[in-house]
């Protein structure tokens, strides 16, 4: 494509119709004349994906820690992942930073009436590192979450500043248990201390939000029933654009549109299967929600990758579980329900069962890492330009302990994280210190405190 004005194709170019809006991935044609790719992309903020898995890990009690069920024995670079729940990440150890031995003390009870309510306040603590006010009313209060602080700073130039996704069902209304409002259990993203952001569970809803499927609810339903692709509605614009692009850009657009169509087909297949009248494992879930955990997670990861490739949003929070869930994961090797398995009693057999579930949950991540690494942007790939954090605000769920919680990061954060590193924090270090360190890596150097932080934990070396 030739541009006489030297400006190149606008980064916010869309293929648009009344029924769909499809943003484009980064293309060489978007590079202004005379500017190198590295210079053009240097000032773009890294993507941020914050993933929570509830109930801690088997490696966070005394026996599990001695067996290195979560964090490896060695710190630094020469660590062995084989005994840990992180074995699936071995191919990505150059992108992996393990941060062990940090505490979420603000998830602990601070007065007698809060004792026992850990499962119902912990998720609200994860990204805020603040203590939730115990209430079942509207006077909720916890703190602004890390992802929303980042989105406020770096997400305003994208069509969607941030998105909040989940796998398990949510119940945002009223109280859950132990005097806590359900929003504390359901929400990890807080726009302010009193504004929890709703989460999306249905891949169809995410898809339509990302690709601007317009019209009324009735029109959207009619379009779904017609089984027409959203790409059909932008076909003419797509042809015109493709004729003007160079071969490399044509291939990138073809691959991106193929990925969109593949995700759309999979959502349609899930909806057809779940609307067939056959018995479902999740009978109360929307038709667009797969019954199988892995299929659901992979669809959500694919949608996040599509959104980041087209710069629709740079910030995601993703809640993989819900406290108290009794979901089973047969693929993990145990059929014990999640919550009962996490209350393992400290016995070797029960702990090993819970370790299987932890391992299975972590094994979801390489699919996302593969996808991001395969997506080129300028001179790098999306995994190079992303910081993914995965952790839990609980440690030993059997005791409702929040000391020595699991936490890892993945990705290079645009060259700011070296990877292949295990950092063991000094005893008593707040997890908020690690998150403050992440903020500084992400360009929020003026943030001096976060939650109960005492200092920023350096995530680039052991020093």
Q: Clarify whether residues 21 and 63 are in a common domain.
A: no
Q: Clarify whether residues 71 and 173 are in a common domain.
A: yes
Q: Which residues does residue 16 pair with via DSSP β-bridges, in sequence order?
A: 21
What number is the average pLDDT over the span 260-282?
94
Q: Clarify whether residues 210 and 301 are in a common domain.
A: no
Coil/strand/helix, residue 183: helix
Q: Clarify whether residues 341 and 392 are in a common domain.
A: yes
What number is the average pLDDT over the span 304-326?
95
- Per-residue pLDDT for 4 more than 50? no
Q: Clarify whether residues 217 and 359 are in a common domain.
A: no
Q: Clarify whether residues 326 and 244 are in a common domain.
A: no
Q: How confident is the model at residue 240 (pLDDT cuts 50, 70, 90)?
A: confident
Residue 258 to residue 252: CA distance in whole angstroms: 10
Q: Check: CB of residue 42 under 8 Å from CB of residue 414.
A: no
Distance of CA 163 to the CA centre of its chain: 9
Q: Clarify whether residues 233 and 368 are in a common domain.
A: no
Residue 301 to residue 51: CA distance in whole angstroms: 11
- Per-residue pLDDT for 315 more than 50? yes
Q: Clarify whether residues 448 and 396 are in a common domain.
A: yes
- Per-residue pLDDT for 309 more than 50? yes
The string of DSSP letters for 218-250 reads HHHHHHHHHT--GGGGGHHHHHHHHHHS-HHHH
CATH number for the domain that contains residue 57: 3.40.720.10
Stated pTM of the model: 0.93
Give 245-269 pLDDT, tens digit per residue: 888 888 888 898 899 999 999 999 9
| Final residue of a structural domain among 231, 255, 288 | 288
| Final residue of a structural domain among 265, 288, 311 | 288
Residue 90 to residue 420: CA distance in whole angstroms: 10
Q: How confident is the model at residue 150 (pLDDT cuts 50, 70, 90)?
A: very high
Q: Clarify whether residues 159 and 268 are in a common domain.
A: no
Give 446-457 pLDDT, tens digit per residue: 999 999 999 999
- Per-residue pLDDT for 6 more than 50? no
- Per-residue pLDDT for 356 more than 60? yes
Question: Which range (46-60, 216-230, 298-312) has the least confidence?
Answer: 216-230
Q: Clarify whether residues 125 and 262 are in a common domain.
A: no
Average pLDDT of every residue of the chain: 90
Tokens of 220: 């959207």
Length of the chain: 463
Q: Check: CB of residue 113 under 8 Å from CB of residue 179.
A: yes
- Per-residue pLDDT for 348 more than 80? yes
Q: How many CA atoms lie within 13 A of 265 on its CB side?
A: 6
- Per-residue pLDDT for 32 more than 80? no
Give 175-201 pLDDT, tens digit per residue: 688 999 999 999 999 999 999 999 999
Q: Cα separations (Å) of 433 from 67, 400, 453, 457? A: 26, 21, 5, 5
Q: How confident is the model at residue 79 (pLDDT cuts 50, 70, 90)?
A: very high
Give 382-439 pLDDT, tens digit per residue: 999 999 999 999 999 999 999 999 999 999 999 999 999 999 999 999 999 999 999 9
Domain that holds residue 169: 47-201+292-463
Q: What is the pLDDT of residue 217?
A: 62
Please choose, from the candidates 159, 169, 160, the residue with its C-alpha nearest in 3D space to the C-alpha of residue 202: 169
Q: What is the pLDDT of residue 25?
A: 84
Give 194-238 pLDDT, tens digit per residue: 999 999 999 999 999 998 765 556 655 656 565 678 777 777 777
Query: Which residue has tokens 């992942």?
Result: 81
Q: Clarify whether residues 230 and 102 are in a common domain.
A: no
Q: Clarify whether residues 60 and 147 are in a common domain.
A: yes
- Per-residue pLDDT for 372 more than 70? yes
Q: What is the pLDDT of residue 249?
A: 83
Q: How confident is the model at residue 2 (pLDDT cuts 50, 70, 90)?
A: very low
| Final residue of a structural domain among 233, 258, 288 | 288
Q: Check: CB of residue 59 under 8 Å from CB of residue 394.
A: no
Q: Which residues does residue 164 pair with via DSSP β-bridges, in sequence order?
A: 317
Q: How confident is the model at residue 5 (pLDDT cuts 50, 70, 90)?
A: very low
Read off φ and ψ for residue 365, nearest 5 degrees: -70, -40
Q: What is the pLDDT of residue 1?
A: 32
What number is the average pLDDT over the span 361-369?
98
Query: Which residue has tokens 């929307």?
Result: 286
Q: Check: CB of residue 135 under 8 Å from CB of residue 114.
A: no
What number is the average pLDDT over the span 132-161?
95
- Per-residue pLDDT for 38 more than 60? no
Identify which has the larger pLDDT, 71 or 236.
71
Domain count, the chain: 2
Question: Which range (23-37, 58-72, 189-203, 297-311) has the least confidence?
Answer: 23-37
């Amino acid at each position: 494509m030739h541009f006489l004005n030297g400006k190149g194709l606008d980064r916010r170019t869309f293929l648009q119709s009344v029924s769909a809006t499809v943003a484009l991935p980064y293309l060489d044609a978007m590079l202004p004349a005379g500017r190198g790719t590295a210079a053009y992309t240097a000032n773009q903020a890294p993507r941020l994906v914050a993933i929570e898995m509830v109930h801690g890990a088997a490696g966070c009690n005394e026996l599990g820690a001695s067996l290195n069920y979560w964090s490896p024995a060695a710190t630094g670079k020469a660590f062995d992942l084989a005994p840990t729940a992180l074995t699936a990440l071995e191919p990505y150890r150059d992108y992996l930073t393990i941060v062990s031995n940090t505490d979420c003390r603000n998830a602990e009870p601070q007065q007698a009436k809060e004792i026992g309510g850990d499962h119902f306040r912990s998720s609200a603590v994860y990204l805020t590192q603040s203590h939730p006010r115990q209430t079942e009313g509207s006077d909720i209060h916890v703190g602004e979450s890390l992802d929303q602080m980042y989105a406020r700073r770096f997400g305003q130039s994208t069509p969607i500043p941030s998105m909040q996704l989940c796998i398990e069902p949510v119940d945002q209304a009223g109280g859950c248990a132990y005097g806590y409002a359900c929003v504390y259990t359901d929400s990890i993203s807080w726009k302010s201390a009193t504004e929890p952001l709703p989460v999306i569970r249905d891949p169809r809803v995410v898809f339509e939000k990302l690709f601007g499927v317009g019209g009324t609810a009735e029109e959207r339903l009619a379009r779904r029933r017609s089984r027409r692709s959203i790409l059909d509605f932008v076909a003419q614009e797509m042809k015109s654009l493709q004729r003007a692009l160079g071969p490399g850009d044509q291939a990138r657009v073809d691959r991106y549109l193929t990925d969109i169509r593949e995700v759309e087909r999979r959502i349609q297949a899930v909806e057809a299967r779940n609307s067939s009248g056959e018995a479902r494992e999740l009978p109360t879930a929307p038709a667009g929600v797969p019954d199988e955990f892995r299929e659901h997670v992979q669809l959500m990861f694919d949608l996040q990758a599509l959104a980041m490739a087209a710069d629709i949003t740079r910030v995601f929070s993703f809640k993989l579980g819900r406290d108290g869930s009794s979901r089973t994961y047969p693929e993990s090797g145990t059929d014990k329900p999640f919550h009962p398995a996490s209350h393992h009693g400290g016995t070797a057999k029960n702990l090993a069962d819970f370790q299987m579930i932890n391992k299975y949950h972590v094994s979801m991540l390489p699919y996302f890492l593969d996808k991001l690494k395969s997506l080129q942007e300028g001179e790098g790939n999306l995994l190079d330009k992303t910081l993914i954090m995965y952790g839990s605000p609980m440690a030993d769920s059997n005791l409702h302990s929040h000391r020595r919680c699991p936490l890892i990061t993945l990705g290079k954060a645009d060259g700011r994280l070296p990877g292949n590193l295990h950092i063991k924090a000094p005893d008593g270090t707040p997890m908020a210190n690690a998150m403050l360190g992440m903020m500084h890596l992400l360009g929020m150097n003026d943030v001096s405190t976060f939650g109960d932080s005492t200092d920023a934990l350096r995530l680039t070396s052991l020093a």
